[in-house]
Structure 1
């Protein structure tokens, strides 16, 4: 347990005014330094991700590293514009007065990272926290210890503790941090832990950003190309072995084409992850730990016991924490896998006759973080959007509402609250301060 948590928190509070007074160039300089250090540590980052999750290194060309670098570049490019006071039209009754919104930092922010993308889900939200002039106390996730260690090294190399401090450790460290009266808390993780984070923040009336998850559905319309839909759904579902909050949790397919859809999914799985009938472990990440390995297997076993059929996969290896890409059909509504976020390499394919069956089912499970609609007709998409609610939507593709830097990203209700990415991230960790100056009341 770190002994200096409270003293560093006090130092960060004491230096809030200094950071608030800094101009865009000073804040951008910190971000540039962060970028430089990340680029020099690409090999270390990728080796850590391989150690934690068996991710295949790619030289920083894809995945978490370019996501963070893009966020840094976007913030640096627009920071001066975002920091500028926003003029507001004055009503006729107050003509001659000045009215504007001034974006000031919230203050000291607690940032709690996630284990499934343990690099990006710490450093990507850290970027707007720094850009907006806040300080941060950062807790990487202990379930990805190798990446946590590298992230801590990067933060300590780039930042002074009074600006950004990092604390490694387990749940007890997170709980001790949450006892402090932060100005804002940014958490990425499960809805269950999100409730605990929000309850702790409520004791101090601290604002929160919760990036959670949910059962993100894909809906395939009767007129849509099955090959295209199945390929994109498969890539999304089994990315990071399904340990992704944006992953397709389950797919709704017209009843008449469930079998051919599953056959195409199987062919895509073969192409992506197998060679001569053998799963290539260097292409497929592992489950993060035995607890999650057992949890996912229990969902499969429960579904099969209730009448579901495994049409692909089902094999597992505890020694390597590997569950083969698995496809289920005929999954009953009361199966656990239909009520809990799967967060593993299992795809239930569900049959439907009318779109209303799908939208009613989605609505009954709460508002997901994402929804994916594959359709040729605008009317089908419009009806799917009208009858559901979710944090974001991508039509005829996957993840694109997350990738586009100008779209705010976040959940709603059970899948989260608050938005970040690009300008939305800057606004999320800023206080929009309304300023009214009486006409001719101030001298230069």
Structure 2
């Protein structure tokens, strides 16, 4: 595998100079080729995701396929505009020059994808990398093995490895890939592994985009429609069984609204994911593997031991890796479940007395990938937005910001570095190159030495600045 990786990497290094010369028409052709390959493989995709995560084909279509198709269609529509050099304003140093920003491919790029949305989270950066004119090596997660195998076959059947290649395997494969001097590395996964990726990239001064995670809060105040808020939080928390990087990780709610929220949340869970008293496993995904299953159960056990109250849920079935939707109240801030990203169908609820308490609670933690505000009060919305920091935010909804390719998606500090989707993804995989076309009337020689006779000029220039 080591020799194969190096061989493909060297092949792409030689080929990247050809790709950088490709025009919009050629790149659009590759994007259409990718979309057609995905459409032809839809049935295999449904089977693979059902096997890996027990995803319903409807959920797969909405969260994996339609999302990817929208990314491709948006890039096809906008690519000619993105690729055009952009004019920049003049400055005193180049008063008569023409100033442009050119977008050039970074070269050979590595995309390391996670297991939770194993198709979407590898295809979205691939779309941006193709649009920007790069060679790409893909590394899907071995934890979603059925989808990884399907992706590997799709890529090998569709593209020449000198342009796009895919390597399956465990962490050893990722380690071998990270030793190579890629021009850019795009990683989606945990903060802990993100630090490992960044450390490896630093050895080759490879630029990085890190799409990480963290504890994304939902702040609910007394002015919102509590029933609608609960329904939206249920969907955002429990789609893919909570294994979503921007899922609400915990709720902060006004103390006098706690009981009402619990009732509405439970009602929404029953409506969406239960058939009578039984969880509907046709619509409700499973936990990815036994390791994550036991980790999540341990979080529940430790929270209860630390004084949390089980409002409902808490049941699990190891045989099919299912943990029922679980709501915890009276959760201690020091509890482990409030220290690490949950990444499962467990929702802690914390109460506050005034909005400043909620803001201070959020700010005591690392900056999250997402923050959700449920409030009908504009000044309160603005206060939360002004006094907190997050990768992205929805007001009176959850998750939907990720679906708009006109918005940047990414984290901040602990929750990520850089952004993706749409033009932001195109720029991520491009180098913005400053180019000055100097005029025959260029004035730079006015500042050449000798300097003795030019102090008057300097004073004149200073007045103009």
Q: If the TM-score is normalised by the length of the shorter chain, which range does it land in?
A: over 0.9
Name the stretch that deviates more: 82-91 or 162-171. 82-91
Structure 1 distance, partners of 2:94, 2:172, is 54
**Cross-structure match for 2:232:** 232
**Preserved contact between residue 50 and residue 57 of structure 1 (Cα < 8 Å):** yes
Q: Which residue of the partner structure matches residue 123 of structure 1?
A: 123
Aligned partner of 2:85 in structure 1 is 85
Note the alpha carbon deviations across 1:292-317, whole angstroms, 9 max, x for none. Answer: 00111111000000110111100001
Give the conservation status (yes or no) of the 8 Å contact 1:105–1:431.
yes
Partner residue in 2 for 1:419: 419
Partner residue, 2:12? 12
Cross-structure match for 2:392: 392
Residue 28 (1) aligns with residue 28 (2): yes
Q: Which runs of 5+ in 2 are unaligned?
A: 442-465
Displacement after TM superposition at 1:149 (Å)? 0.7
Q: Distance in 2 between matches of 1:91 and 1:384?
A: 38
Secondary structure of 1:244's aligned partner: coil
Q: Does 1:406 align with 2:393?
A: no
Q: For residue 203 of structure 1, give the secondary structure of its aligned residue in structure 2.
A: helix
Report the Cα distance in structure 2 between the residues aligned to 1:429 and 1:396, rounded to whole angstroms: 32
Cα distance in structure 2, aligned partners of 1:413 and 1:359:
18
Matched, 1:256 2:256: yes
The structure that has the greater radius of gyration is 2
Distance 1:199 1:255 in 2: 43
Partner of 1:279 in structure 2?
Answer: 279
1:98 corresponds in structure 2 to 98
* Residue-by-residue CA offset, 1:149-194 (whole Å, 9 max, x unaligned): 1111111122110111110000100000000000000000000110
1:330-383 deviation per Cα after TM superposition (whole angstroms, max 9, x unaligned): 001111001110000001111110111111111111100000001111111111
The answer as to 2:300 corresponding to 1:266 is no
SS in 2 for 1:34: helix
1:358 corresponds to: 358
Distance in 1, Cα, partners of 2:251 & 2:324: 18
Distance 2:397 2:334 in 1: 29
Contact 2:90-2:99 at 8 Å conserved across structures: yes
Determine the C-alpha separation between the residues in 2 that align with 1:129 and 1:412.
Answer: 22
Written as runs of structure 1 = structure 2, the 5 A alignment for 1:421-436 is 421-436=421-436
Please report how far the alpha carbon of residue 403 of structure 1 lies from its aligned counterpart in structure 2 after TM superposition: 1.4
Q: Distance in 1 between matches of 2:59 and 2:233?
A: 26
How much is the aligned-residue C-alpha RMSD, in angstroms?
1.3
Cα distance in 1 between the residues matched to 2:18 and 2:133 = 9
State how far apart, in whole Å, the 2-side matches of 1:403 and 1:34 are.
20
Secondary structure of the residue aligned to 2:3 is: coil
Query: Does the CA-based 8 Å contact 2:142-2:170 persist in structure 1?
Result: yes
Correspondences of 1:11-160 after superposition (within 5 Å): 11-58=11-58, 61-160=61-160
Matches within 5 A, 1:122-201: 122-201=122-201
Could you say what secondary structure the match of 1:282 adopts? coil
Could you tell me how far apart the structure 2 residues matched to 1:59 and 1:372 are? 22
Whole-angstrom distance in 2 between the partners of 1:436 and 1:330: 61
Equivalent residues in 2 for 1:338-353, closer than 5 Å? 338-353=338-353
Point out the more displaced range, 21-30 or 57-66. Answer: 57-66
In 2, Cα distance between equivalents of 1:2 and 1:155: 20
**Cα shift readout 1:403-431 (whole Å, capped 9, x = no counterpart):** 12200000000100101110110011100
CA contact (8 A) 2:217 2:248 kept: yes
Distance, in Å, in 2 between the alignment partners of 1:60 and 1:331 is 33
What is the TM-score with the length of structure 2 in the denominator?
Answer: 0.93
Shift of 1:321: 0.6
User: Structure 1 length as normaliser, TM-score?
Assistant: 0.98
Q: Distance in 1 between matches of 2:60 and 2:53?
A: 16
Q: Secondary structure at the match of 2:8?
A: helix
Equivalent pair of 2:104/2:433 in contact (CA under 8 Å) = yes
| Structure 1 position 92, deviation (Å) | 4.7
Query: Alignment partner of 2:152: what SS?
Result: helix
Secondary structure at the counterpart of residue 185 of structure 1 = strand
Determine the C-alpha separation between the residues in 2 that align with 1:266 and 1:93: 65
Runs of 4+ in 1 over 6 A off after TM superposition: none
The count of residues paired between Structure 1 and Structure 2 equals 442
